[in-house]
Structure 1
Amino acid sequence: MINREIADILYEAADILELNEVEWKPRAYRKAARKIEDLNEDISNIYRDRGKKGLEEIPGIGSRIADHIIEYLETGEVGKFEKLKEKSPVKTGELVEIRGLGPKKVKKLVEQLNIKTVSDLREAVEQHQIKNLTGFGEKTEKNILKSIGMFEKSHDRMQLGKAMNLAEDVITYMKEHSDLEKIDYAGSLRRMKETIGDIDMLVIASDPDRTMNTFVSMENVERVESRGVTRSTVILKGGIHVDLRVVPAESYGAAMQYFTGSKDHNIALRDLAISKGYKLSEYGLFGKVSQEKVEGESEQGIYERLGLQYIPPELRENRGEVDIARQNSLPELVTLNDIKGDLHIHTTFSEGSDSLEDVVRAAEDMSYEYIAITDHSRSRRISKGMEIEELKLQWEEIDRISGEYDVKILKGAEVDILKDGSLDYPDEVLGGLDIVVGSVHSGFESAKEEMTERIVAALENKYLNILGHPSGRLIGKREPYNADFDMIFETVADKEKILEINSHPERLDLNDKLILQAKMFGVKFSINTDSHSVPNLDFMRFGVGQARRGWLTKDDVVNTFSYNSLKKMLKA
């Protein structure tokens, strides 16, 4: 928890400094924040065990930033940053998240219209005050209004990755500080939805009162909203609601089923129970006449009593799963254990923060059979895209270390799909790659026909293997492209290409609905992390979650194939 607090403080300081046109410090603070977010160890433990020197051993953290971290760990604030916030006339943390607003535009809005918050910004847009400012215009004003809507919607819910990390932090804390028989998260988090509202947790505990005392006393609690014997709700720093219920062991399965949801799935299940002479609730499955509990300890038991195949949480959205479970015809969904490799990874050859060898070593530690190194192509200058000579140097590096590890290293690249649908490297270079991920990184506002033609043209290229983050969305920041996805999926199937499920929590692209839509065309998928650092490799579980929500089996996903099978398919 403390790692995220410190990272957030550094990000906020970077935003304020950038607004004031300080050039190098924002980059340094953001780099340090990313490294702290990626740490697998509590930063307070690093400081306790190894002092300031231990902090300075973290890449991106120099003496000055280490001093700021120490100050926060010891006092709960950083004096310099508090003064910065006092001097800042605007809630930069909010305004810089609005797509289309950079520091210079934010500064102009502050100076000329006295805009300090997103609320001020919405009011100015609705009164058409912005379009007359130099550098803005009517189109910019419309785009800002759209971005405000996305910002407000996204801040009602948190991304899956953030919610999962918070839930796991709570579970770890509760296990270490109280005597629990069992603790799990439920709700939309357990269903692996792309965004989460509140976090619901269930426990079995022999001493509920002590358990609740431990829960409401967690270090990251900002406010206790309610405190009861069997249920308490806290608000964590950052405004996240966490609800904890103590449940008797004999009702734990029923409670997990009920609080996992979804609401529509539960209604369908209750209706089925009634038709079979039962009553289903969070306390168990009861005979309607006898009132006797017939099941409650396990979820599997409840589904079996209702004559259903067990329905995995990710499918519980009332999209036909109950009827199919009646026929015992639910697919065997892909699992994290099925994944044999990651086919979209960045290193320091472009904008990644870890070296090629660091990534390979981490993949070997994860027991992967293979990975693909796919740094950005030359047009992505903002992402340090590789010129052809740099790409060939990377090939030499891969050749040099390949014999030192068991994991197989595929030579790849994430190649920009240019405006005309051509790829960012010539065919003679693409032909030297084992795998090509083609992605759109520009022109997001293109008309539907133009974007569709662009992507379809790229899919015609025989060297393109995977269509990267196919809809182009960024959750809460950018909507998917306006494109004919049926035509794109049909082309993918016809040309025997692969659709990516990008596991990065900010993307989760394709989402579950588009996965279901694409599956109807008989396409293959690749679940990739788009990693920019070694810890990002753990994002794979979020992509697998979306694949499961999209009803995919291991046969649908190419990176469940063995290395030899994958190579054979890519060559074909």
Structure 2
Amino acid sequence: MSNQELAKILSEIASFLEMNEIAFKPRAYEHAAFSIQSLEEDVGEIYKKGGIKALENIPGVGRGIAERIEEYIKTGRVKDYEKLKKQFPVDIKSLMTIEGVGPKLVKKLYQKLKIKNIADLEKAAKTGKLRGLEGLGEKSEQKILKGIEFLRQSHGRFLLGHVLPVARKILENLRALPYIKQAEAAGSVRRMQETVGDLDILVISNKPDKVMDYFVHMPEVQGVLSKGPTKTSVRLKIGADADVRVLPPESFGAAFQYFTGDKYHNITLREIAIKKGYKLNEYGLYKDRRLVAGKTEEEIYKKLGMNCMDPEIRTNSGEIEAAIKGELPMLIGYDDLLGDLQVQTDWTDGENSIKEMAEAAKKQGLEYIVITDHTKSLAMANGSDEKRLVKQMAEIDKVQKQVSGIKILKSAEVNINKDGTLDINDETLAKLDVVGASVHSSFNMLEADMTKRIIRTMENPNVDILFHPTGRLIQKREPYKVNIDELIKTAKRTKTILEINAYPERLDLKDEYIRKAVSAGVKLAIDSDAHSVAHFKFLEFGIAQARRGWAGKKDVINTRPWPEMLKLLK
């Protein structure tokens, strides 16, 4: 069975329950879905080892949800889910990918206009039928149509955070086979690109037929597109396509290089090869039809007169020139983070307690976390006012005495008002160890106004970090219009840290903006934006994003011990 499949079912149950206006349960199902999606081990294996008790040990999975998971493992279905789908026969997952469309609106659209899918929604918006519904007008129709167009532009691509766990599971199973010497993922997964088109897997084996037979019957596979002795293509259950290629050892490095570098990186590399009298393709580097390199990537790059660069930066954005000059950046490592500067708890919209989050972070190898629950303007997240924030500070002191080996720092994710002021007074902010600020409302401002709004916030001497600086949700919401160059200049001037939010649907800042910030000498923070104990694993995606933006360890403040990190703040 697929963790992704199960997570989808639980997430949809959450949405259906919200459509029925059932309190509390939707959040529980949503958190369970997040946890299962983040698991490295297959849920079926967890159940096989420890039964329903083992399922209850998964973060966010209580007895009731564990019973639904057990039912799915045993029967391949969840009766409650099927009943809900009969009640609301809509493509809820697709409809809710449109910005501004949530469960309650889906219910209204179905009950009033019998809208079941995106095609129905688009037709209704184009013919002006939506504006007749309570709470919707012409602006709402235009926003929905814009959201549908935005979704189309990203069609056929999948979030790295959804694909990578599946890719790793496939590789783990392939590598366990005695007739496979090596198996690796290439392409956009190896480059840790924020979205993935398809999955490229390269294998060394002297029994290609056995490899292909095994691959097409893997539990992650939905259907076979083509099958051959050296290449097989399948459609995975998560919706993405995957190719497996079996290669001879002498060509593996050439194929690894070819299928990793993006199109423009490879074009430039081939042009350099031609100028040097070589021919380069996925089978090797040739001189007068004689193979001169191909076993490893390193020997190919060396023959072409350059150092081998990290996969994340193979995008033809200056890495080849840097490699030739011997000036490649020393990128931040995947084990370099010591702390996480954005962590939510059950005080607001998180799932777990302060203590549970601290213990989970410690298990993840972190030395400190910063508690950043939401503030009062975000009522939907049960945001705290000044009085409640002070109460939470006392609670953190209490928990700190109970948990050893990890430092818990006091903070808040303070909401930025429309005029750039904050929704918590300066007197309270001054009591916190760290202050993070973010935009959660009024996204549709003019660029000049949004830029002015955020700059005013950054100029507040209490504000240390600007969280998710552009507000984007990948494949769901475009970033708000803001002059990023002006924000970077202001960050440098005010010593404001810019966040790289590692949540798979955010990855905000974008890699190109990270590179600009690094060039300007602006310091960064990589944060998980964890809302559950399972979310600390997201830090890997933030580190990958930083690497794609050429950031080094020195550029990221939470690579330092917490006392040193605090000294870098305002």
**Which piece of structure 1 moves more, 370-379 or 243-252?**
370-379
* Amino acid corresponding to residue 559 of structure 1 in structure 2: N
Distance 1:63 1:375, change over 3 A: closer
Q: Show structure 2 runs of 5+ residues with no match.
A: none
Distance 1:467 1:121, change over 3 A: same
Give the equivalent residue in structure 2 for 1:140: 140
Give the equivalent residue in structure 2 for 1:240: 240
In the alignment, the residues of structure 2 paired with residue 87 and residue 350 of structure 1 have an alpha-carbon distance, to the nearest angstrom, of 31
Give the equivalent residue in structure 2 for 1:375: 373
The within-5 A match list for 1:191-270 is 191-270=191-270
Cα displacement (A) at 1:298: 1.0
Give the equivalent residue in structure 2 for 1:422: 421
Q: Please, which of 304, 316, 335 is the counterpart of residue 306 of structure 1?
A: 304
In the alignment, the residues of structure 2 paired with residue 48 and residue 101 of structure 1 have an alpha-carbon distance, to the nearest angstrom, of 38
Cα displacement (A) at 1:497: 1.0
Give the equivalent residue in structure 1 for 2:70: 70
**Which piece of structure 1 moves more, 424-433 or 261-270?**
424-433
Measured against aligned partners, the alpha-carbon deviations of 1:337-366 in whole angstroms (never above 9, x if no partner) come to 222221111122222222222222233233
Distance 1:518 1:113, change over 3 A: same
Cα displacement (A) at 1:241: 0.8
Contact residue 15 and residue 96 of structure 1 kept, 8 A: no
Aligned residues: 569
**Local SS of the residue matching 1:336:** coil
The within-5 A match list for 1:37-48 is 37-39=37-39, 41-48=41-48
Cα displacement (A) at 1:369: 3.1
Q: Please, which of 294, 297, 303 is the counterpart of residue 296 of structure 1?
A: 294
Cα displacement (A) at 1:430: 1.0
**Local SS of the residue matching 1:429:** helix
Measured against aligned partners, the alpha-carbon deviations of 1:195-223 in whole angstroms (never above 9, x if no partner) come to 10101111112322211111111012111
Distance 1:41 1:268, change over 3 A: closer
> Is 1:457–2:442 an aligned residue pair?
no
* Amino acid corresponding to residue 90 of structure 2 in structure 1: V
Measured against aligned partners, the alpha-carbon deviations of 1:472-491 in whole angstroms (never above 9, x if no partner) come to 00011111111122211111
In the alignment, the residues of structure 1 paired with residue 528 and residue 61 of structure 2 have an alpha-carbon distance, to the nearest angstrom, of 25
**Local SS of the residue matching 1:337:** coil
* Amino acid corresponding to residue 497 of structure 2 in structure 1: I
Q: TM-score, normalised by structure 1?
A: 0.94
Measured against aligned partners, the alpha-carbon deviations of 1:39-63 in whole angstroms (never above 9, x if no partner) come to 4543323433443444455565455
Measured against aligned partners, the alpha-carbon deviations of 1:397-426 in whole angstroms (never above 9, x if no partner) come to 332343542323222211111122112221
In the alignment, the residues of structure 2 paired with residue 366 and residue 91 of structure 1 have an alpha-carbon distance, to the nearest angstrom, of 37
Give the equivalent residue in structure 1 for 2:281: 281
**Local SS of the residue matching 1:338:** coil
Contact residue 351 and residue 383 of structure 1 kept, 8 A: yes
In the alignment, the residues of structure 1 paired with residue 38 and residue 395 of structure 2 have an alpha-carbon distance, to the nearest angstrom, of 25
Cα displacement (A) at 1:20: 4.4
Distance 1:530 1:56, change over 3 A: closer
* Amino acid corresponding to residue 128 of structure 1 in structure 2: G
> Is 1:176–2:189 an aligned residue pair?
no
In the alignment, the residues of structure 2 paired with residue 37 and residue 324 of structure 1 have an alpha-carbon distance, to the nearest angstrom, of 38
In the alignment, the residues of structure 2 paired with residue 66 and residue 534 of structure 1 have an alpha-carbon distance, to the nearest angstrom, of 17
Distance 1:271 1:405, change over 3 A: same
Cα displacement (A) at 1:266: 0.2
Measured against aligned partners, the alpha-carbon deviations of 1:74-132 in whole angstroms (never above 9, x if no partner) come to 12112342343234342222223322223343333334433221012122223333234
Q: Please, which of 391, 394, 416 is the counterpart of residue 393 of structure 1?
A: 391
In the alignment, the residues of structure 2 paired with residue 307 and residue 50 of structure 1 have an alpha-carbon distance, to the nearest angstrom, of 54
Cα displacement (A) at 1:453: 1.3
**Local SS of the residue matching 1:255:** helix
**Which piece of structure 1 moves more, 209-218 or 29-38?**
29-38
> Is 1:548–2:547 an aligned residue pair?
yes
**Local SS of the residue matching 2:473:** coil
In the alignment, the residues of structure 2 paired with residue 115 and residue 9 of structure 1 have an alpha-carbon distance, to the nearest angstrom, of 21
Distance 1:343 1:144, change over 3 A: same
**Local SS of the residue matching 2:224:** strand
* Amino acid corresponding to residue 315 of structure 1 in structure 2: I
Distance 1:417 1:208, change over 3 A: same
Measured against aligned partners, the alpha-carbon deviations of 1:280-302 in whole angstroms (never above 9, x if no partner) come to 11111111x2x211111111111
**Which piece of structure 1 moves more, 381-390 or 465-474?**
381-390
Distance 1:498 1:59, change over 3 A: closer
* Amino acid corresponding to residue 356 of structure 1 in structure 2: I
**Which piece of structure 1 moves more, 239-248 or 456-465?**
239-248
* Amino acid corresponding to residue 203 of structure 2 in structure 1: V
Give the equivalent residue in structure 2 for 1:508: 507
Distance 1:536 1:104, change over 3 A: closer
* Amino acid corresponding to residue 157 of structure 2 in structure 1: R
Measured against aligned partners, the alpha-carbon deviations of 1:496-546 in whole angstroms (never above 9, x if no partner) come to 111001011000000112212333432111111111112211111111111
In the alignment, the residues of structure 1 paired with residue 307 and residue 61 of structure 2 have an alpha-carbon distance, to the nearest angstrom, of 52
**Which piece of structure 1 moves more, 52-61 or 443-452?**
52-61
Q: Show structure 1 runs of 5+ residues with no match.
A: none
Give the equivalent residue in structure 2 for 1:353: 351
In the alignment, the residues of structure 1 paired with residue 345 and residue 22 of structure 2 have an alpha-carbon distance, to the nearest angstrom, of 28
**Local SS of the residue matching 1:539:** helix
Same amino acid, percent of matched pairs: 46
Contact residue 374 and residue 382 of structure 2 kept, 8 A: yes
Measured against aligned partners, the alpha-carbon deviations of 1:161-184 in whole angstroms (never above 9, x if no partner) come to 111111011112222345322111
Contact residue 410 and residue 432 of structure 2 kept, 8 A: yes
> Is 1:566–2:569 an aligned residue pair?
no
Distance 1:131 1:219, change over 3 A: same
* Amino acid corresponding to residue 75 of structure 2 in structure 1: T
Measured against aligned partners, the alpha-carbon deviations of 1:318-340 in whole angstroms (never above 9, x if no partner) come to 11221222111121111112222
Moved over 4 A (4+): 20-25, 38-41, 56-64
What is the aligned-residue RMSD (CA, Å)?
A: 2.1
The within-5 A match list for 1:57-206 is 58=58, 60-206=60-206
Contact residue 334 and residue 554 of structure 1 kept, 8 A: yes
Give the equivalent residue in structure 2 for 1:477: 476
* Amino acid corresponding to residue 175 of structure 1 in structure 2: R
Contact residue 177 and residue 214 of structure 1 kept, 8 A: no
In the alignment, the residues of structure 2 paired with residue 78 and residue 325 of structure 1 have an alpha-carbon distance, to the nearest angstrom, of 54
Contact residue 157 and residue 240 of structure 2 kept, 8 A: no
Cα displacement (A) at 1:7: 2.0
Distance 1:268 1:29, change over 3 A: same
In the alignment, the residues of structure 2 paired with residue 171 and residue 391 of structure 1 have an alpha-carbon distance, to the nearest angstrom, of 46
Give the equivalent residue in structure 2 for 1:488: 487
In the alignment, the residues of structure 2 paired with residue 71 and residue 93 of structure 1 have an alpha-carbon distance, to the nearest angstrom, of 22
In the alignment, the residues of structure 2 paired with residue 100 and residue 302 of structure 1 have an alpha-carbon distance, to the nearest angstrom, of 49
In the alignment, the residues of structure 1 paired with residue 330 and residue 52 of structure 2 have an alpha-carbon distance, to the nearest angstrom, of 50
Cα displacement (A) at 1:468: 0.4
Contact residue 286 and residue 292 of structure 2 kept, 8 A: yes
Distance 1:310 1:56, change over 3 A: closer
**Local SS of the residue matching 1:402:** helix
**Which piece of structure 1 moves more, 132-141 or 265-274?**
132-141
Contact residue 178 and residue 214 of structure 1 kept, 8 A: no
